[in-house]
C-alpha cells in the first residue's frame, strides 16, 4: 500500500505542476490574443491534450504497478497485446470520474484509482475555471468594453 500511495503522491504532484506550467503559458496567450487568430479554440485544444497527457501518466503508472504485482485490473479486460488499452480505458474512466465499471481495480492499485478520480476532478475544474476567465477576458476585449462592472466601482 505504501508503494501505491507514493506513486499516487508523485502523480498528483507531477500532474498539478504540469497543469500549472501549461496554464501559465496559456495565460500569457490570453494576455496577447493578437498572436493567434482563434486563441480560445487553441486554449481548449491544448487543455484537452493536457488532460490526455495526465490520463496517460496515470495509465502508465497503473500498468507499472500491475506488472510489479501491486494489483491488477479485472472485468472486461482485453489483456495480451491490449494491456495498455485496458489501463488507458480504466484511467480515463477514473480521471473523469465516469466510473463505467466494466473494468475494476483489484488490490492496492484501488488507492491509485481513487486518488486519480479526485485529482482529475480538481484538474478538470481548474481547466474549466481558467477557460471561463479566458473567455471573459477575450470576449470583453472583442466588444471593446472594460469588463463587467464591479460593486463599489
Rounded Cα distance between 49 and 37, Å, is 20
pLDDT beyond 90 at 39: no
What is the residue whose three cell numbers read 496517460?
A: 56
Overall pTM > 0.85: yes
Q: By the 8 A CB rule, do 2 and 108 touch?
A: no
Helices 109-143 and 83-95, axial angle in degrees (round to 10): 60
Q: Which run of H or of E encompasses 93?
A: helix 83-95
Rounded Cα distance between 53 and 60, Å, is 10
Exposure string for 41-80, b = 16+ CB within 10 A, e = fewer: eebeebbeebbeebbbbbbebbbebbeeebbbbeeebeee
Digit-coded pLDDT (tens) for 84-133: 899 999 999 999 999 888 999 999 999 999 999 999 999 999 999 999 99
pLDDT more than 90, % of the chain: 68
Rounded Cα distance between 11 and 91, Å, is 13
- pLDDT given for residue 150 in this prediction: 38
Measured in degrees and rounded to the nearest 5, phi and psi for residue 9 equal -60, -40
Query: Which residue from 148, 147, 136, 146 is spatially nearest to 33, judged by alpha carbons?
Result: 136
**Domain formed by 2-139, architecture:** Orthogonal Bundle (1.10)
Amino acid at each position: 500500500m505504501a508503494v501505491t500511495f507514493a506513486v499516487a503522491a508523485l502523480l498528483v504532484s507531477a500532474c498539478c505542476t504540469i497543469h500549472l506550467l501549461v496554464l501559465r503559458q496559456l495565460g500569457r496567450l490570453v494576455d496577447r490574443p493578437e498572436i493567434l487568430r482563434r486563441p480560445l479554440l487553441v486554449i481548449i485544444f491544448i487543455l484537452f491534450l493536457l488532460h490526455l497527457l495526465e490520463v496517460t501518466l496515470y495509465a502508465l503508472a497503473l500498468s507499472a504497478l500491475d506488472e510489479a504485482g501491486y494489483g491488477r485490473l479485472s472485468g472486461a479486460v482485453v489483456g495480451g497485446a491490449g494491456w495498455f488499452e485496458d489501463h488507458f480505458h480504466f484511467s480515463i474512466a477514473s480521471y473523469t470520474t465516469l466510473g463505467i465499471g466494466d473494468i475494476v481495480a483489484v488490490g492496492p492499485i484501488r488507492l491509485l484509482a481513487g486518488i486519480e478520480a479526485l485529482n482529475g476532478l480538481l484538474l478538470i475544474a481548474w481547466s474549466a475555471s481558467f477557460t471561463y476567465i479566458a473567455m471573459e477576458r477575450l470576449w470583453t476585449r472583442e466588444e471593446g468594453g472594460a469588463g463587467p462592472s464591479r460593486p463599489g466601482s
